[in-house]
Chains A and B, each alone.
Chain A
Amino acid sequence: MAISRDEVLHVAALARLELSDEEADRFTEQLGAILEAVSKVSELDLGDVEPLSHPLDLVNVWADDEPRPSLPLEAALGNAGEDEDGHFRVPPTGMTRES
């Protein structure tokens, strides 16, 4: 397998996903198959090829710093599971996180 069951569980934990035993087995197999297919690329000698971060032949796509209307509050909160006082309400978060 190109990915271990433990790695799958690690990535799931980082994404705050809970997997059942059966899901962990199934995703290990599916992700393994994908990684194996992609790893075919490494059979080629690519020493002279520049890394490509984007398939489009485009650079410097940006916009002027001109404000446009934001969403009305009701629309912004429309997909929230819960809201309170104009805020999204989420379960308590256990630790601080800084950018």
Chain B
Amino acid sequence: MAEWEPVVGLEIHVQLKTRTKMFCRCESGFGAEPNTRTCPVCLGHPGTLPVPNAAAVEWTVKLGLALGCEIAGHALFHRKHYSYPDLAKGYQISQYDVPLCANGRFLVPGPDGDREIGIVRAHLEEDAAKNVHVGGAGGRIGGAAHTLVDYNRGGTPLVEIVTQPDLRSADEAKRFLQLLRQTIVELGISDAEMEKGTLRADANVSVRPRGADELRTRTELKNMNSFTYIARGIEAEVARQIEVWDSGGKVVQQTYDYHPETDALTVRRTKEEAEDYRYLPDPDLVPVEPPAELVERLRAEVPEAPGARIRRLEPQLGFELAEGLVASGRDRLYERTPGERRAVANVVMNQLAGAGIDPDAVDGDELGQLVEARDRIPRAAFLEALAHAGDPDFRAERYLAEAAVADVSELEPIVDDVLAAHPDEAAAYRRGKQGLLGFFVGQVMKRTQGKADAKVVNELLREKLSA
């Protein structure tokens, strides 16, 4: 049996959070009553003219720069024709052979080294309207009695990003998407939330014998609305294809929907006729030629890439912690917090995140004082301080004054009580169940309302249990 290697490319759509739509000045955004954010342009009335949104053009260029793309000196908008009610004009304005951004690279560090994922292109287009299928058996589209259309979303700006088939595992695809999402969020151009549909990703999947450089027939995977589902969908499709090849069959080019509840893949009903969009340059729109000074200004605004930051933090923290901090947008707080690096990283990544504190609201110097004192002050005081670390007037000082009980003469009777109350556990510990030490520490903390000095308690317990 051959050993197989997944070959995966992604196609990502990002909804830009501009105030207005792509080609008219209707407000974009969600939550308005149906069809109350429409005008003759986005309803496709004859005789209207689209005018591009300058912010959307700038943001696309900025994203292209963050993805290491070349920015076109001359880009065009094309009409992509299809007849469907989610598109009032009978065509979508998109970009075709001359997109704004092309030929990029995006660094995805992994536990076993770095991967550079090629970016084929990033282009600007308008989103379609939302169709609601009503009535009919089971509410499935095929059985709908009729369709209701809400054009509020129609014409809002979307960036489409297409990667090279450079991803080699489901896990790598997930990590790529997490870092891409972080990049987009840091640029401030989209909320990029998969659950809300402001970030959508489809995957092109094929497999090949490991080490080969051929590209076999690929399938397209859709309908995955979380990073985890994307990884699971890719895994399921890779397994399916391996089975097809191994049993002497052939993979057929098709589009599949992934159903996370059942881990099943179903073939999507496709059009009988091959896709034929009859692209042509939109005569209503003149070319876009981003001025060099604009591109340079935007380049200066692009933050350091997440991949580069992980690589920079990895030597001090190890891959997992470095990636966790960067992918969750917590590394900047980590970097501005003084103190022992691993301790700071752990507090920022675990306790502070657990308390649900916005890392950008935290004063690094104040947090640094807390981290430094974390073994000296009562546990309860430390946790309470963390819960307030995002408050605008937070000062660590007030909590640092609370002294932990470190006096042996005060703690010793409590330790004795705890050991006397749990003779079975004490015996088990003496027989070698060293993991029970944490249990005893917890009991002592409980009796002191979290105010005992953890280090002194540990020492006392060890001493008495080995006696």
Chain A residues packing against B (C-beta within 8 Å): 10-11, 13-16, 53-54, 56, 58-68, 70-71, 73, 76-77, 79, 84-99
Q: How far is the CA of A5 from the CA of B27 in the complex (A)?
A: 45
Report A-chain residues with C-beta under 8 Å of the C-beta of B131: 93
13 residue pairs bridging A and B, Cβ less than 8 Å apart: A59-B288, A62-B51, A62-B54, A63-B54, A66-B20, A71-B43, A79-B43, A85-B34, A90-B147, A92-B144, A92-B145, A93-B85, A99-B128
Please pick, from A58, A79, A88, A97, the residue contacting B128 in the complex, using a CB distance under 8 A. A97
Q: Which of B111-119, B232-240, B265-273 contacts A (4 or more CB under 8 A)?
A: B265-273
Would B150 and A87 count as touching, CB distance under 8 A? yes
Would A89 and B142 count as touching, CB distance under 8 A? no
Interface class of chain A by DSSP: loop
Q: A90-B85, A96-B269 are in contact. List 6 more A-B contacts (CB 8 A).
A: A54-B286, A59-B287, A66-B20, A76-B151, A79-B43, A92-B145
Report A-chain residues with C-beta under 8 Å of the C-beta of B281: 53-54
Report A-chain residues with C-beta under 8 Å of the C-beta of B287: 53-54, 59-60
Report A-chain residues with C-beta under 8 Å of the C-beta of B55: 64-65
Report B-chain residues with C-beta under 8 Å of the C-beta of A99: 13, 92, 125, 127-128, 158, 160
Q: Given contacts A62-B51, A68-B25, A99-B127, is CB(A89)–CB(B158) below 8 Å? A: no
Q: How far is the CA of A10 from the CA of B145 in the complex (A)?
A: 28
Residue of A nearest to B35 (CB): A76
Q: How far is the CA of A77 from the CA of B57 in the complex (A)?
A: 30
Please pick, from A14, A61, A98, the residue contacting B286 in the complex, using a CB distance under 8 A. A61
Would A97 and B25 count as touching, CB distance under 8 A? no
Q: Given contacts A60-B286, A87-B148, A93-B147, is CB(A73)–CB(B52) below 8 Å? A: no
Residue of B nearest to A68 (CB): B25
Would B149 and A88 count as touching, CB distance under 8 A? yes
Q: Is residue B278 contacting chain A, with contact meaning CB distance below 8 A?
A: yes
Q: Given contacts A65-B53, A73-B36, is CB(A84)–CB(B148) below 8 Å? A: yes
Q: How far is the CA of A97 from the CA of B269 in the complex (A)?
A: 10
Q: Is residue B185 contacting chain A, with contact meaning CB distance below 8 A?
A: no
Would B19 and A66 count as touching, CB distance under 8 A? yes
Provide the B174-189 mask, 1 if CB < 8 A to any CB of A, else 0: 0000000000000000
Q: Is residue B132 contacting chain A, with contact meaning CB distance below 8 A?
A: yes
Provide the B280-299 mask, 1 if CB < 8 A to any CB of A, else 0: 01010111111100000000
Q: How many A-B residue pairs have CB under 8 A?
A: 158
Among residues 124 to 159 in chain B, which have CB atoms less than 8 Å away from a CB atom of chain A? 125, 127-128, 131-133, 136, 141-142, 144-151, 158
Q: How far is the CA of A75 from the CA of B443 in the complex (A)?
A: 71
Please pick, from B147, B149, B276, the residue contacting A92 in the complex, using a CB distance under 8 A. B147
Q: Which of B76-84, B316-324, B399-407 contacts A (4 or more CB under 8 A)?
A: B76-84
Would A71 and B38 count as touching, CB distance under 8 A? yes
Q: How far is the CA of A37 from the CA of B85 in the complex (A)?
A: 34
**Nearest Cβ distance between residue A96 and chain B, in whole angstroms?**
6
Q: How far is the CA of A50 from the CA of B357 in the complex (A)?
A: 57
Would B33 and A63 count as touching, CB distance under 8 A? no
Q: Given contacts A14-B83, A53-B76, A95-B271, is CB(A70)–CB(B13) below 8 Å? A: no
Would B52 and A89 count as touching, CB distance under 8 A? no
Report B-chain residues with C-beta under 8 Å of the C-beta of A60: 286-291
Report A-chain residues with C-beta under 8 Å of the C-beta of B127: 99
Residue of A nearest to B40 (CB): A71
Would B38 and A63 count as touching, CB distance under 8 A? no
Q: How far is the CA of A85 from the CA of B35 in the complex (A)?
A: 10
Residue of B nearest to A88 (CB): B149
**Nearest Cβ distance between residue A60 and chain B, in whole angstroms?**
6
Residue of B nearest to A96 (CB): B141
**Nearest Cβ distance between residue A29 and chain B, in whole angstroms?**
21
Q: Is residue B39 contacting chain A, with contact meaning CB distance below 8 A?
A: yes
**Nearest Cβ distance between residue B429 and chain A, in whole angstroms?**
60
Q: Is residue B379 contacting chain A, with contact meaning CB distance below 8 A?
A: no
Interface centre among A58, A63, A77 (most CB of B within 10 A): A63
Would A87 and B149 count as touching, CB distance under 8 A? yes
Q: Given contacts A14-B278, A97-B82, is CB(A65)–CB(B20) below 8 Å? A: yes
Report B-chain residues with C-beta under 8 Å of the C-beta of A66: 19-20, 25
Would A97 and B86 count as touching, CB distance under 8 A? yes
Would B53 and A67 count as touching, CB distance under 8 A? no
**Nearest Cβ distance between residue B154 and chain A, in whole angstroms?**
10
Q: Is residue B460 contacting chain A, with contact meaning CB distance below 8 A?
A: no
